[in-house]
Amino acid sequence: MEMSFRWYGNDDPVRLEHVRQIPGMKGIVSAIYDIPAGEVWPKEKIIALKDSIEKAGLKLSVIESVPVHEDIKLGLPSRDTYIENYIETLRNLSSAGVKTVCYNFMPVFDWTRTSLDTPLPDGSHSLSYDEATLEKLDPISGELTLPGWDLSYQTEQLKGILETYKGVSEENLLDNLIYFLEKIIPVAEEESVLMAIHPDDPPWSVFGLPRVVTNKYNVEKMLRAVDSTSNGITFCTGSFGALHENDLLQIIDVAKDRIHFVHARNVKWTGTKSFQETSHSIHDGSLPMVEVIKKLIEIGYNGPIRPDHGRMIWGEEGRPGYGLYDRALGATYLNGIIDTYRTARKGEFI
């Protein structure tokens, strides 16, 4: 597995020189952030990003994410133009040497939490989600805005989009995803690009919007619908694992060689459909992180993995979930598990 780290570009308070000092760190996961969803990413910008990462002694291993325009998710007639643009971006990425692309198909809102700084018993802070609180929130009021959301919509525009989604069932959304995949996957194959869809976070409907990348059944459906190695998933432990009935090991079995990227983080279930993010340790959260890594090694997973969100510790301030310190601890914890299993499998000890 290739340990990697998400970096938000030159505006990120976390510096590449510091990321490089994390033991075993190889890759950077990043994106072009100043191009609106639906527009083509120019080659020069991709190359400039790649160069800045290589100058720091790291490599650009994954693009996370190339956003999917809302008209594609809604299945509007204008989607074909946006799909053409998406394809051109994929070609540009491939020609710059990027071969893994993470994306998601969540309507309107990317990852959703109800608090960005809930205290943990050890005095640190982390992201949390409480279903009862969410139910009382109105996404149009602006009372909740999150770092992962596209905030470029005007209120009226957002209202319009939410209204249009009222006519879109989960089945429609899945059909729209498959339509998109049927167009982009042949190009991804041609370009040897691995597409890795991120699960919905959390993996259930929020604000009444449909969500489809939620469980093993839907993952299987979307993988089989376009049966190509290029059509794969980002296996995100924290997203799938927020839903108690999701068995992470079974999801690995279903997706197997179609896992192209791994996000590893732990969450503590605080109720049905409620959770708080914790350190990566199995002693802090509810997810079987050690078994997950073991299983990934057993199925031969050798692609990029990144510590996902971390807590805010040691007084660090910065982008919620994306500080340096706790993600560095997470990477080290994960590398410890990976190295132990690898060595054991080689028969060098145990």
Positions annotated as catalytic residues are 198, 236, 263, 308-309, 322
Tell me the window of 73-81, 101-109, 138-146, 311-319 that interacts with ligand DNO (CB under 6 A): 101-109
In three state form, how does the secondary structure of 45-100 look? Answer: HHHHHHHHHHHCCCEEEEEECCCCCHHHHHCCCCHHHHHHHHHHHHHHHHHCCCCE
How far is 325 from 197, CA to CA, in rounded Å?
27
CB of 203 to ligand DNO, least distance (A): 12
12 contributes a contact to ligand DNO by CB under 6 A: no
Tell me the window of 100-108, 154-162, 167-175, 252-260 that interacts with ligand DNO (CB under 6 A): 100-108
198 contributes a contact to ligand DNO by CB under 6 A: yes
Number of residues that bind ligand DNO (CB under 6 A): 12
CB of 185 to ligand DNO, least distance (A): 17
109 contributes a contact to ligand DNO by CB under 6 A: no
CB of 4 to ligand DNO, least distance (A): 13
How far is 76 from 50, CA to CA, in rounded Å?
34
Binding characters for ligand DNO, 245-264, by CB under 6 A (x = yes)? ------------------x-
- Per CB under 6 A, the list member of 110, 175, 247, 316 interacting with ligand DNO is 110
41 contributes a contact to ligand DNO by CB under 6 A: no
Burial of 288 (0-12, 13-18, 19+ CB in 10 A): middle
Tell me the window of 82-90, 97-105, 208-216, 328-336 that interacts with ligand DNO (CB under 6 A): 97-105
- Gyration radius (Cα) of the chain, Å: 19
Cβ-contact 235, 194 below 8 angstroms = no
111 contributes a contact to ligand DNO by CB under 6 A: yes
Residue 316's CB: how many other CB atoms inside 10 A? 16
Cβ-contact 262, 305 below 8 angstroms = yes
266 contributes a contact to ligand DNO by CB under 6 A: no
288 contributes a contact to ligand DNO by CB under 6 A: no
277 contributes a contact to ligand DNO by CB under 6 A: no
* Alpha-carbon dihedral 53, 55, 58, 63, rounded to 10 degrees: 20
DSSP 8-state class, residue 310: -
